[in-house]
Structure 1
Amino acid sequence: MKRKLVALFMAMALIGSAVAPVLLSVGSARVAAAGDPVGKTIEYLKGRQQTDGGFGEPGRDSSNQLTGWVVCAIAAAGEDPSSWRVTGKSPLDYLSSHAGDWTTLGDLERSCLAVCSAGADPRSFGGRNLVAEISAQIKSDGHLGDMINDHCWGLIALSAAGEPIPEGCRNWLVSMQNIDGGFSFAPESASDPDDTGAAMQALKAAGEAPGGNAMERAAFFLRFCQSSDGGFCWQSNSSNVASTAWAVQGLSAAGEDPDSTAWSKSGKTPLDFLRDMQQADGHIRYSDASDSNPAWMTAEAVPALLKKPYPLSSEPEAQNGEVPSDSSDSSDSSQATTTADAPADSSWDSFAEDALFTFPAEPPGEEVAPEVVADREPKRSSDSSGAGSSGSPDDSGNLFAMGAPGVNSGNGNTGGNVPLFLIICGAFITVLGLITLGLSKKRHSRQY
């Protein structure tokens, strides 16, 4: 009996040693404070507007990409982007003057979404018809662009412009759903929470019912991507704001309430994680460990905090059969003081200019994401955009290793908490097997 107890204690200790690091991994970025999280993000973003009307990260010039996302955030918060002026110039003035710089499909999609969110005309903006240019890239099979990511944001942009979405476009997207319920950046790649959230928004834009099969499967996948802090992660066990924001918007598009107990993990919801990442000056950091691209992360978090998917609607999103309360209600947030106005590392300049729809990479010295050419797009070796590199692919050479929950992506990182769960289960079963074997040998020794 004594030996049995000793073996049992050994098994418990082994499991405890596996769980302890997770419980101790709470970042130091969280210091309790109270206030209106959305109001503070808007005040922070106002401070990032430049004299040309556009927006830039601390220490950087304005960029098309960041300005487009901030315009969407301003509109989501119920403000008029055209009224935000510095030296008489608004964000729309900046975008219009740089419309000739939009050379990729991603540029057109993001800019169309921003223009529509601001209430401007996407069919005549900066001398371009954004709707016609996007629609021209729809193929005969319904696929828009080259990647699933292109397709999703194309549907969202066209819907924002009031264009009817062809049935073939919706059917093509549904056919790209992986067996685990998630979606990936490119066909035949592992699912990730970011693109799953984007696909859910695109499905809603294309007319998919919130309770439809595709939506429910996608929401089921996101449950396995959620971390114990309430947030969502990509290629890591550490949640980040970018992944969480798009996952929240996707869940909202599916009629889920991401701030409800149904999406609470260890007492934390996805919106709790976003609020926990807000700092004293109003900006939202990328993760516990990183404060890269504060303006970009703040802009991405605003519609998520308001539970508003793209394209933006004047009507509140119905969630589980109910209409949510006014999104302007304040709630507690956890914040800490940070020096957000410190100039960014110069090696990030090219990344800031080329970011559009890709996973955000980490600054030098921290966890590195794949090479990027857009906000969440892993750089392809055949890419001809000339975008700067901010990371490297995994050692296997697979540029699309997305790190789905429970799947090692080749660089030692995994997404979600499924791998940890499997390790714990495996260790427990192994110890029980050893105990059983020991007891069996003891019985046989007594028989002979």
Structure 2
Amino acid sequence: MSWQLASFLIVGLVLAIGWLAYERTRPSARMAAVVAIMAALAALGRDAFAALPDVKPITAMTLVVGYALGPLPGFTVGALGMLVSNFMLGQGPYTPWQMAAWGMVGLGGAVLGRLSRRRLGRVPLALACAASALAAKEVMNVYTWTLGASHTPAAFLAVAGQAVSYDVTDTVASFLFGLAFAPELARVLARMRVRMTVTWVPAAAEPQPGDALSGGTARRSLGAACSLLLVAAAATLALGGQRASGARAPMSREVAFLAGAQNADGGFGGARGQSSSELYSGWAAIGLAAAGRDPLTVRRGGHSVLDALRGEAASLQGAGDLERTILALHACGVSVHSLPGGDPISRLMHFRAGDGSFGHLSNLTAFAVFALRAAGYSSSNPTVRGAASWLRRQQNADGGFGFGGRGGGSDVDDTAAVLQALVDAGARGPAIGRASAFLVRSQNPDGGYPQQAGGESNAQSTAWAIQGLIAARRDPRTVTREGGRSPLAFLATLLGPDGSVRYSRTGSQTPVWVTAQALTALAGKPLPIAPVRGHVAATVTARAAPAAVARRRAVAPRSRPRGGAVAAGTAPRAGQRVNRLARSIGALLGSVLAPMLR
């Protein structure tokens, strides 16, 4: 067998294994679409720089895809990018080698992401792009070496020496491309990954009409039915017949789920068992505080979430990371100025533009208002007022706001965030009403909210909408469409048996993040979330939402309370006692009557 044939068989085997592995994972249609788009962009990027030999962005793009999305997407983007780009640049026997080499760049990016927990900064990522380009070029040198008559180490060194100028050019170019866009692309892809990861859980089998119930099952079913009737009657008497479309039991299950998901370093990952991340740790602290649980009292291995936040301070890169961490520190009840690496408020101010915005983005500017208010800045502070003034000018014709500026598509999440920020900044006028009306119009018939109009309802967008409505002094329990559920009642349908809140009816990705954010809405508390005072966790129910609305109506807008816990009143306590009594009576009636009805 010749060297050329043997080498081609090896390369073909590598490509076959990579694609077979990718197909066996059965990626979702949305993830496959993202991979296809990134492969197309990588190919176009390579073709666009055809006039500059060895100056190509494909290495940096492939490495970042692997770094952010994982090994199989990274491998596929690298291999397909080379294959497709060669339709313009020219196909040849080198194409499979290029596909394998840049596919391995994607694999290397995935390994780098796992080892670094995706916390690398701009320069380390750029250096990784340069190293990957050099490694891929050496693979191509091996290809050239296989074509020669001599296959000795000296012959390989001769081939590598002749290509050194091209290799250095590609290495330097890849470093510069990585320096230019690697962190930003990694963040965008990471957001896509967490949004589109879906975990399918088989539904429990439903009993068929002809199935017989066992005696224990019949007693429990009849007992539950009796309990339900008695509880409903007791609730009607205790609450004066008031309809509670979004009322729920205390949020102890959700809080217990978050506490159980804590890692040994005190931080939180997207799900139980996943590595801690500043993103998830920050939201977990905010959610716990909203539910009335002091985040500092939730510990694992002697560490609290505050330890994790301080340990992850070095990974903070942009304004969004700083803003979220400031809100988490505030929720923990500690100074927002104390963080390794410098005062986060001072670092955040470096992102303030001359027009009053932060990064010229509505999302970052709204969170900057939350962070500044958490740091003690008053609503009359010039920086806060300037940010609010810029935000008002970004409102779209439909009353909503987008992630960027005016003219971009409006979405529920950013509209609700800006609405809260405007109220936090003491803003008044038609902008508040128009944004609130946009949220009301965006509700789906199932009671929930999509991120974009017409999309599937999800827990996080629904939580944002609830907070925005409360900020605008709207009772979320009264917001329904065609007599359907309220957004609070929709959230209740996503509560899982383990206490987590599912992202949607078809997806359960990042349950820690989703549950934490849902807690802020169920507690009826707009951002920023105030710390728990006295380390006493108040009993908080979904009734806190209308209570918060009533409390806000009783004060001037500029002195709005900032998320104080709502203690359970006499009626809820009485209702709980009646609830326990009704369950006992229902169980007794079920045990007595079930034998008669079998």
1:196 aligns with 2:415: yes
Aligned-residue sequence identity (percent) comes to 39
Go from structure 1 to structure 2 and tell me whether the alpha carbon gap of 1:249 and 1:271 turns closer, same or farther (over 3 Å shift): same
Determine the C-alpha separation between the residues in 1 that align with 2:484 and 2:455: 18
Go from structure 1 to structure 2 and tell me whether the alpha carbon gap of 1:269 and 1:28 turns closer, same or farther (over 3 Å shift): farther
Q: Give the deviation of 1:84 after TM superposition.
A: 1.2
Answer yes or no: is the 8 Å Cα contact 1:230–1:265 preserved in 2.
no
Q: Give the deviation of 1:114 after TM superposition.
A: 0.5
Matches within 5 A, 1:2-401: 36=249, 38-56=251-269, 57-164=271-378, 165-166=381-382, 167-187=385-405, 188-209=407-428, 212-235=429-452, 236-259=454-477, 261-263=478-480, 265-313=482-530, 317-319=548-550, 321=553, 326=566
Q: Which moved more, 1:53-62 or 1:218-227?
A: 53-62
Go from structure 1 to structure 2 and tell me whether the alpha carbon gap of 1:207 and 1:279 turns closer, same or farther (over 3 Å shift): same
What is the RMSD computed on CA atoms of the aligned residues? 2.9
Q: Give the deviation of 1:126 after TM superposition.
A: 2.4
Answer yes or no: is the 8 Å Cα contact 2:289–2:531 preserved in 1.
no
Question: Secondary structure, in 3 states, of the residue corresponding to 2:413?
Answer: helix
Alignment partner, residue 422 of structure 1: none
Answer yes or no: is the 8 Å Cα contact 1:54–1:62 preserved in 2.
yes
Q: Give the deviation of 1:137 after TM superposition.
A: 2.1
Determine the C-alpha separation between the residues in 1 that align with 2:432 and 2:531: 22
- One-letter amino acid matched to 1:163: Y
Determine the C-alpha separation between the residues in 1 that align with 2:307 and 2:319: 21
Question: Secondary structure, in 3 states, of the residue corresponding to 1:308?
Answer: coil
Q: Give the deviation of 1:96 after TM superposition.
A: 0.5
Q: Give the deviation of 1:326 after TM superposition.
A: 3.5
Answer yes or no: is the 8 Å Cα contact 2:416–2:464 preserved in 1.
yes
Go from structure 1 to structure 2 and tell me whether the alpha carbon gap of 1:238 and 1:132 turns closer, same or farther (over 3 Å shift): same
- One-letter amino acid matched to 1:94: A
Alignment partner, residue 15 of structure 1: none
Question: Secondary structure, in 3 states, of the residue corresponding to 2:303?
Answer: coil
* TM-score for the superposition, normalised by structure 2: 0.47
Go from structure 1 to structure 2 and tell me whether the alpha carbon gap of 1:98 and 1:186 turns closer, same or farther (over 3 Å shift): same
Go from structure 1 to structure 2 and tell me whether the alpha carbon gap of 1:95 and 1:314 turns closer, same or farther (over 3 Å shift): closer
Kindly indicate whether structure 1 or structure 2 has the higher relative contact order, using CA contacts under 8 Å at least 6 residues apart.
Answer: 1
Determine the C-alpha separation between the residues in 2 that align with 1:303 and 1:285: 15
Determine the C-alpha separation between the residues in 2 that align with 1:161 and 1:104: 18
Question: Secondary structure, in 3 states, of the residue corresponding to 2:338?
Answer: coil
- One-letter amino acid matched to 2:490: F
The one-character-per-residue Cα deviations of 1:205-264 (angstroms, maximum 9, x if unpaired) are 21124xx311110011112210111111124432101111111111111111112x2446
Question: Mind listing any 5+ residue stretches in structure 1 that lack a counterpart?
Answer: 1-26, 333-448
Q: Give the deviation of 1:279 after TM superposition.
A: 1.0
Q: Give the deviation of 1:128 after TM superposition.
A: 2.1
Q: Give the deviation of 1:59 after TM superposition.
A: 3.5
Determine the C-alpha separation between the residues in 1 that align with 2:447 and 2:523: 16
Question: Secondary structure, in 3 states, of the residue corresponding to 2:553?
Answer: coil
Go from structure 1 to structure 2 and tell me whether the alpha carbon gap of 1:86 and 1:270 turns closer, same or farther (over 3 Å shift): same
Alignment partner, residue 103 of structure 2: none
Go from structure 1 to structure 2 and tell me whether the alpha carbon gap of 1:242 and 1:288 turns closer, same or farther (over 3 Å shift): same
Determine the C-alpha separation between the residues in 1 that align with 2:473 and 2:466: 11
Go from structure 1 to structure 2 and tell me whether the alpha carbon gap of 1:111 and 1:195 turns closer, same or farther (over 3 Å shift): same
Go from structure 1 to structure 2 and tell me whether the alpha carbon gap of 1:37 and 1:273 turns closer, same or farther (over 3 Å shift): farther
Question: Mind listing any 5+ residue stretches in structure 2 that lack a counterpart?
Answer: 1-201, 207-223, 229-246, 533-546, 556-563, 577-598
Determine the C-alpha separation between the residues in 2 that align with 1:195 and 1:327: 30
Alignment length (residue pairs): 302
- One-letter amino acid matched to 2:447: G
Determine the C-alpha separation between the residues in 2 that align with 1:110 and 1:35: 28
Q: Give the deviation of 1:317 after TM superposition.
A: 3.3
Q: Give the deviation of 1:133 after TM superposition.
A: 1.3
Question: Secondary structure, in 3 states, of the residue corresponding to 2:476?
Answer: coil
Determine the C-alpha separation between the residues in 1 that align with 2:299 and 2:272: 18
Answer yes or no: is the 8 Å Cα contact 1:99–1:128 preserved in 2.
no
Determine the C-alpha separation between the residues in 2 that align with 1:265 and 1:306: 25
Answer yes or no: is the 8 Å Cα contact 2:248–2:492 preserved in 1.
no
Question: Secondary structure, in 3 states, of the residue corresponding to 1:317?
Answer: helix
Question: Secondary structure, in 3 states, of the residue corresponding to 1:202?
Answer: helix
Question: Which structure dedicates a bigger proportion of its chain to helix?
Answer: 2
Q: Give the deviation of 1:103 after TM superposition.
A: 1.0
Go from structure 1 to structure 2 and tell me whether the alpha carbon gap of 1:225 and 1:61 turns closer, same or farther (over 3 Å shift): same
Answer yes or no: is the 8 Å Cα contact 2:467–2:521 preserved in 1.
yes
Determine the C-alpha separation between the residues in 2 that align with 1:172 and 1:28: 48
Answer yes or no: is the 8 Å Cα contact 1:201–1:250 preserved in 2.
yes
